[in-house]
């Protein structure tokens, strides 16, 4: 696997919602290629039947009482929003014409 082509990098950038220029795709394909080559050293290890660890604590489900609580005030929520109108956040067109 290791080597990442420029096209693959562009696809990954799209999945990650990052605009990317030709030069960046070139640079990242080289850098990410080196990194993926390095991380593939893990293949030296036989991990058949080894359970994956997602995090180290024996915590499974943490429940709380099902009681309604007040959320954030609208004024606070909108404090950091660049564009809003009548309590709604404005965004550019979602559907193409």
- Which spans of this chain sit near other proteins (rule: CB under 8 A)? 1, 4, 9, 12-20, 28, 31-32, 34-36, 38-45, 47, 50-57, 59, 62, 64, 72, 76-77, 79-83, 89, 91-94, 96
CB-wise, 7 or 34, nearer to other proteins? 34
CB of 34 to other proteins, least distance (A): 6
- In the complex, the smallest distance separating the C-beta of residue 43 from other proteins, rounded to whole angstroms, is 7
Alpha-carbon torsion 3, 5, 6, 9, what sign?
Answer: negative
* Three-state DSSP class for residue 89: strand
Nearer to other proteins, 66 or 96 (CB): 96
41 and 21 Cβ atoms separated by less than 8 Å: no
CA distance 62 to 68: 17
Closer to other proteins by Cβ: residue 68 or 91: 91
d(Cα 20, Cα 38) in Å, to the nearest integer?
24
């Amino acid at each position: 696997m290791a080597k990442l082509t420029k096209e693959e990098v562009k696809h990954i950038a799209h999945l990650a919602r990052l605009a990317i220029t030709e030069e960046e795709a070139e640079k990242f394909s080289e850098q990410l290629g080196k990194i993926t080559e390095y991380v593939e050293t893990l293949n030296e290890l036989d991990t058949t039947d080894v359970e994956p660890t997602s995090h180290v604590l024996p915590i499974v489900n943490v429940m709380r009482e099902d009681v309604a609580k007040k959320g954030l005030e609208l004024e606070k929520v909108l404090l950091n929003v660049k564009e809003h109108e009548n309590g709604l956040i404005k965004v550019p067109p979602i559907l193409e014409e």
